[in-house]
């Protein structure tokens, strides 16, 4: 029989947002019943398929269900349902209600979606480590232990500019763990960051258009494992908004300035990188400031107008272009790809000017700068 | 030969479950009746290949048929062939009726699988749990496991030690009959049952495959006994969706299913306190029927030894087996010449004679090697390739040695009068595809037995009217 | 034209030589086709196989 697969699901459950969604024809109860049937389908496919469900509430996140949990003894069995399904429904419903009841109504915290995503990734990491740890603690992660783990984020929250860095960090860990992140924006506007997360990990992003067909969307787009997606394509976005948020003011920027050492992004030229403390030559700063398009909304950062040079650190670079550089292609869209063609994930990256799957790399690749490592030697 | 090895593992993944051909051979009527049970639909759904499952899922919640071209538009170019095959397989099972224009699931299957996923309906096909009995609590999982293990190993042990002069515990009459029917064992001239070459091969299979081998035989037998296959299959599938460690009531079972209880008890699939008990508990053998997890808790005997592998094979052909399980020792004895026996360790050698004996019994070199691989000790897993190449190659060479002479019966056609005559007959024989050997220089060829009558006819026709 | 009933043996040249020498004691070969192929009498096949087996067995040695 075929190999099992793991699915982690993150449910975004801020009550305020769901209250709004209910007015648009998608109450939380309907949403949950669709999602639960989808989760049943995942367990039904293979008895060894594992599942973990995480909930993101305002200001907190929690594990709602894990297939590793023992089935509660007292849970009655119905002759018409498969016992694992009943255990899943019971656990998810009970814990969501317990959490929602415990919530303070006046709480205005945004949904802890990132915390839930991070927990989900930690869970996948633990799964992939535990069997190897039993036999050989030094062993590398064995891909056969946990084939193609996936993470599905069902989000209703709008983008939060402060969450850019944590999301990107999650994306990088997901890439390292070979986790595919799928995203479904169930309600509300498109989210730029989750779109990027899906794109960068080879997942699928869907903005739900017909709320009554949620289950069909879920099954067609998110149920197939990566191996199946090679045969039956899943819908993916044909436009990816690659914009990033700057590290200094958490604004989403069209044109940013990238530290050539640590790839931090700033909305304006800075004399010292706030992340890695690299100092940039004054000449570069002046040149960059001149070539800058007018950005009236950008507030001035501290020290932005008093650039200092640092002659003590030698820098090497072709053409004498050192220090921060304009990342010209931060915002791109892949409209050239997949128009009128089959929608599938591999075409998305191909149409972009940078062609890399990695945001950090694509930013620096657009610039004619040699990376200089912090100790001053050229790589 | 790591590449060879990977190939066989690949094959294992791609071959459909052994039950599916049996289901495909059933009539549409039988299958439709089977599909009325949500638990059966769920189990069959599990047995399908991953792509077939996805196709079923994509169609499951659609109310009306969709155009086949709409669905095909999602298929990547490289996957066309696989997709077409999957559609064909589904249509053999009558899950997805074959149609060029529209795709829609079999209505019964669709309704039942929907019920299985949502937990609706009134069929009770997932088993009616028994009332809790506080005076006599049901067995715990450990007790069930040891019961299943004991039953299953009794069967295997009986097979492996037949003809060795030992007198192991006999399984029940029903099991003996099934073993004989399936030709895993045979009685020569009314003597005691002897294991056959198919039986030897059977012993080296994984427990999961063994179980299904026997159950398939059971299904064939049920067919002959005029039992209702839908009831039999439905019961097996119901077992596979039950919760381990719970007691179920037999009230809702049909007469056929009640009659099956005894057989299933003999195979170790269910546990009952007394033969006439009103309740039963499925064992792990039963609940893992449609999953790929090991159906037995540990086959390494009681308590001792690591759970999975126990065999260490060295380059000097020595085998160290960390086991105290008589069954495993007996299976090893099929192709290893055993030297020493300690409380938890058996030492032996793979020799030409021991392998030859195995080959004579009908076991193949590949089966020996795959047995050694699946039961290799965790320490061995560090090695790459897992088994010493010398030993693997030597076992294969010994097998080749046995096949130095190949023979086939037939006719040698010779002494043709002219080259044209020879070529005429030769071409005819080539069309029939019966030529085993030919030589134009000597103007003769060797044809198989099957082709002889037609060649003879052809020549006679030629001699009667040579100009036609 | 003639058709002769027999059994086609496919073997390696070494085995063929052994078969040829066995043939000198008690004839069973109908036609010697080439290095790898022989046609023998159908009813002799079982005996030939058994005798070949004992002959080959003489050429193998084991430590125990």
Do C8 and B407 make contact, defined as CB atoms within 8 angstroms? yes
Nearest CB to B415: which of C1, C10, C34? C1
Residue B200 has phi, psi (to 5 degrees) of -60, -45
Judged by a CB distance cut-off of 8 A, whether residue B417 touches chain C is yes
Q: Is B440 in CB contact (< 8 Å) with chain C?
A: no
Q: Range with the lowest mean pLDDT among A35-44, A251-260, A349-358?
A: A349-358
In degrees rounded to 5, what are phi and psi of residue A330?
Answer: -65, -40
In a mutational test of the A interface, the residue from B126, B129, B279 whose CB has the highest number of chain A CBs within 10 Å is B126
> Is B412 close to C45, i.e. CB distance below 8 A?
no
Partner-chain contact B442 C33, CB within 8 Å: yes
Indicate the domain borders of chain C. 6-58
Q: Which residue of C has its CA nearest to B356?
A: C57
- Give the residue-averaged pLDDT of A115-137: 73
Q: Which chains touch B (3 or more CB pairs under 8 A)?
A: A, C
Q: Is A7 an interface residue toward B (CB < 8 Å)?
A: no
Task: Kindly list the residues from chain C whose CB atom is less than 8 angstroms away from the CB atom of residue B455.
Answer: 3
Contact present, B337 and B349 (Cβ < 8 Å): yes
Q: What pLDDT score does B357 carry?
A: 87
- Judged by phi (left if over 0) then psi (alpha if -120 to 50, else beta), residue B121 lies in left
Is B82 touching A (CB cutoff 8 A)?
yes
H/E stretch holding C32 reads strand C29-32
Half-sphere exposure at residue B401, Cβ-oriented, CA atoms within 13 angstroms: 17
- Residue A342: closest CA among A267, A240, A232: A232
Please check the confidence at residue A325 and state whether its pLDDT lies above 60. no
Q: Tell me if residue A250 falls in helix, strand or coil.
A: coil
Instruction: Enter the tokens of residue A171.
Output: 């994306």
Task: Note the pLDDT of residue C42.
Answer: 87
B72–A contact, CB cutoff 8 A: no
pLDDT digits (tens, 9 = 90+) for B326-345: 888 888 888 999 999 998 89
Q: Does C12 touch chain B (CB under 8 A)?
A: yes
So what's the pLDDT on residue B1? 38
Burial group, residue A29, by CB count within 10 angstroms (0-12, 13-18, 19+): exposed
According to the model, what pLDDT value does residue C54 have?
87
SS3 string, chain B, reads: CHHHHHHHHHHHHHCCCCHHHHHHCCCHHHHHHHCCCHHHHHHHHHHCCHHHHHHHHHHHCCCCCEEHHHHHCCECHHHHHHHHHHHHHHHHCCCCCCCCCEECCCHHHHHHHHHHHHCCCCCCCCCCECCCCCCCCCCCHHHHHHHHHHHHHHHHHHHHCCCCCCCCCCCCHHHHHHHHHCCCEEEHHHCCEEECHHHHHHHCCCHHHHHHHHHHHHHHHHHHCCCCHHHHHHHHHHHHCCCCCCCEECCCCCHHHHHHHHHHHHHCCEECCCCCCCEEEECHHHHCCCCCCCCCCCCCCCCCCCCCCCEEECCCCEEEECCCCHHHHHHHCCCCEEEEEECCEEEEECCHHHHHHHHHCCCCHHHHHHHHHHCECHHHHHCCCCCCHHHHHHHHHHHHHHCCCEEEEEEEEECCCCHHHHHHHHHHHHHHCCEEEEECCCCEEEEEHHHHHHHHHHHHHHHHCCCC
Distance from the Cα of B323 to chain C's closest Cα (Å) equals: 25
Against chain A, the chains showing at least 3 CB pairs within 8 Å are: B
Cα–Cα distance measured from residue A301 to residue A322, given in angstroms and rounded to the nearest whole number: 21
Contact assignment for B115 to A80 by CB distance below 8 Å: yes
Q: What digits encode the pLDDT tens for the residues A205-232?
A: 988 888 888 898 899 889 988 888 888 8
Residues B251-296 have pLDDT tens digits of 888 888 888 888 888 888 888 888 888 888 898 888 888 876 666 6
Question: CB-based burial of residue B3 (10 Å sphere; 0-12 exposed, 13-18 middle, 19+ buried)?
Answer: exposed
CB atoms inside a 10 Å sphere around CB B453: 9
Name residue B270's beta-bridge partners: B282
Nearest residue of C to residue B401, measured between CA atoms: C56
Neighbouring chains of C at 3+ CB pairs under 8 Å are: B
Cβ burial of B364 (10 Å; 0-12, 13-18, 19+) is middle
**Lowest-confidence segment of B21-30, B161-170, B433-442, C47-56 by average pLDDT:** B161-170
> Are the C-beta atoms of B161 and B330 separated by less than 8 Å?
yes
Examine the pLDDT at B76 and tell me if it is beyond 50: yes
Regarding pTM above 0.80, the answer is no
Q: Is C39 in contact with B413 (Cβ distance < 8 A)?
A: no
The answer to whether residues C41 and C7 touch, using CB atoms and an 8 Å cutoff, is yes
- Residue B308 above 60 pLDDT? yes
Q: How far is B310 from chain C (nearest CA, A)?
A: 26
The CATH superfamily assigned to C6-58 is TFB5-like (3.30.70.1220)
B381 Cβ under 8 Å from any chain A Cβ: yes
Measure the CA–CA gap between A299 and A286, rounded to whole angstroms: 18
pLDDT at A146 (0 to 100) = 61
CB contacts, 8 Å: C57 with chain B: none
Residue holding tokens 């029940």? B172
Helix axes of B255-267 and B173-181: crossing angle, nearest 10 degrees: 90
Verify whether the Cβ–Cβ distance C62 to B352 is below 8 Å. Answer: yes
Question: Is pLDDT larger for residue B299 or for residue B425?
Answer: B425
- Angle subtended by helix axes B107-118 and B50-60, to nearest 10: 90
Contact B442, B422 (CB under 8 A): no
**Averaged pLDDT for residues B412-424:** 86
B138 has a chain A CB within 8 A of its CB: no
Q: In the structure encoding, which two tokens stand for residue A55, read together? A: 């909930």
Interface test with B, best of C1, C15, C59 (most B CBs within 10 A): C1
- Give me A105's structure tokens: 């109504």
């Amino acid at each position: 029989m075929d190999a099992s697969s793991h699915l982690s699901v993150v449910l975004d459950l801020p009550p305020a947002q769901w209250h709004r969604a209910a007015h648009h024809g998608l109450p939380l109860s309907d949403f949950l019943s669709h999602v639960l049937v989808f989760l049943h389908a995942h367990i039904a496919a293979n008895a060894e398929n594992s599942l973990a469900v995480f909930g993101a509430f305002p200001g907190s996140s929690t594990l709602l269900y894990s297939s590793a949990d023992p089935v509660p003894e007292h849970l009655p069995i119905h002759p018409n349902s498969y016992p694992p399904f009943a255990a899943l429904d019971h656990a998810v419903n009970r814990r969501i209600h317990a959490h929602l009841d415990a919530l303070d109504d006046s709480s205005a915290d945004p949904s802890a979606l990132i915390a839930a995503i991070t927990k989900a990734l930690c869970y996948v990491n633990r799964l992939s480590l535990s069997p190897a740890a039993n036999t050989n603690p030094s062993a590398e992660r064995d891909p056969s232990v946990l084939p193609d783990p996936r993470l599905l984020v069902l989000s209703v929250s709008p983008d939060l500019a402060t969450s850019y860095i944590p999301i990107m960090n999650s994306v990088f860990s997901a890439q390292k763990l070979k986790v595919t992140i799928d995203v479904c924006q169930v309600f509300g506007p498109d989210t730029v960051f989750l779109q990027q997360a899906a794109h960068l990990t080879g997942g699928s992003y869907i903005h739900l258009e017909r709320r009554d067909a949620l289950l069909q969307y879920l099954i067609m787009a998110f149920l197939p494992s990566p191996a199946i997606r090679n045969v039956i394509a899943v819908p993916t976005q044909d436009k990816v908004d690659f914009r990033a948020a700057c590290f200094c003011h958490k604004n989403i920027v069209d044109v940013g300035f990238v530290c050539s050492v640590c790839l931090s992004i700033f909305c304006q030229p800075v004399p010292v990188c706030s992340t890695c403390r690299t100092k940039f030559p004054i000449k570069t700063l002046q040149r960059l400031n001149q070539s800058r398009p007018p950005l009236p909304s950008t507030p001035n950062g501290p020290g932005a107008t008093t650039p200092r040079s640092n002659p003590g650190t030698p820098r090497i670079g072709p053409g004498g272009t050192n220090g921060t550089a304009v990342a010209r292609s931060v915002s791109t869209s892949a409209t050239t790809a997949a128009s009128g063609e089959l929608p599938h994930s591999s075409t998305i990256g191909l149409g972009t000017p940078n062609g890399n799957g990695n945001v950090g790399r694509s930013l620096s690749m657009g610039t004619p700068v040699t990376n200089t490592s912090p100790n001053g030697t050229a790589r | 030969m790591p590449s060879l090895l990977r190939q066989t593992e690949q094959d294992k993944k791609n071959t459909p479950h052994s039950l599916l051909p049996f289901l495909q051979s059933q009539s549409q009527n039988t299958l439709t009746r089977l599909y009325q049970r949500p638990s059966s639909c769920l189990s069959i759904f599990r047995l399908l290949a991953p792509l077939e499952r996805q196709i079923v899922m994509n169609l499951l919640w659609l109310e009306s048929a969709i155009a086949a071209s709409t669905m095909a538009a999602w298929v990547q170019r490289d996957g066309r062939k696989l997709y077409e095959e999957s559609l064909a397989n589904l249509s053999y099972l009558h899950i997805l009726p074959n149609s060029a224009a529209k795709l829609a699931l079999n209505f019964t299957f669709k309704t039942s699988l929907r019920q299985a996923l949502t937990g609706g309906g009134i069929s009770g096909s997932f088993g009616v749990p028994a009332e809790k009995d506080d005076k006599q609590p049901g067995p715990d999982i450990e007790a069930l496991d040891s019961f299943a293990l004991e039953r299953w190993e009794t069967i295997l042990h009986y097979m492996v030690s037949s003809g060795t002069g030992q007198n192991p515990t006999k399984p029940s009459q029903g099991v003996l009959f099934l073993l004989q029917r399936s030709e895993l064992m045979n009685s020569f001239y009314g003597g005691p049952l002897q294991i056959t070459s198919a039986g030897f091969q059977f012993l080296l299979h994984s427990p999961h495959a063994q179980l299904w081998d026997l159950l398939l035989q059971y299904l064939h037998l049920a067919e002959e006994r005029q039992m209702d296959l839908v009831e039999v299959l439905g019961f097996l599938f119901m077992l596979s969706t039950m919760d381990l460690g719970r007691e179920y009531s037999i009230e809702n079972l049909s007469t056929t299913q009640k009659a099956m209880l005894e057989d299933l008890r003999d195979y170790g699939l269910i546990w009952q306190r007394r033969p006439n008990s009103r309740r039963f508990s499925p064992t792990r053998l039963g609940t893992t029927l449609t999953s790929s997890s090991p159906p037995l808790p540990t086959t390494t005997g009681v308590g001792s030894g690591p759970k999975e592998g126990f065999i260490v094979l060295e380059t000097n052909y020595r085998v160290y087996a960390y086991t105290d399980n008589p069954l495993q020792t007996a299976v090893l004895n099929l192709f290893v010449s055993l030297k020493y026996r300690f409380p938890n360790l058996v030492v032996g050698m793979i020799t030409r004679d021991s392998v030859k004996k195995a080959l004579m019994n009908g076991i193949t070199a590949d089966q020996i090697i795959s047995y050694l691989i699946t039961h290799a000790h965790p320490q061995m897993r560090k090695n790459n390739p897992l088994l010493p190449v010398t030993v693997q190659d030597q076992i294969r060479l010994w097998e080749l040695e046995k096949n130095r002479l190949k023979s086939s019966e037939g006719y040698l056609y010779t002494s043709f009068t002219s080259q044209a005559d020879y070529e005429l007959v030769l071409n005819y024989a080539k069309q029939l595809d019966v030529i085993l050997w030919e030589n134009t220089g000597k103007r003769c060829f060797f044809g198989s037995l099957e082709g002889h009558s037609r060649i003879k006819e052809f020549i006679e026709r030629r001699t009667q009217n040579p100009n036609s | 034209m003639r058709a002769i009933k027999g059994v086609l043996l496919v073997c390696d040249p070494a085995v063929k030589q052994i078969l040829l020498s066995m043939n000198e004691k008690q004839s069973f070969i109908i036609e010697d086709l080439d290095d790898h192929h022989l046609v023998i009498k159908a009813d002799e096949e079982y005996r030939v196989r058994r005798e070949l087996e004992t002959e080959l067995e003489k050429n193998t040695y084991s430590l125990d």
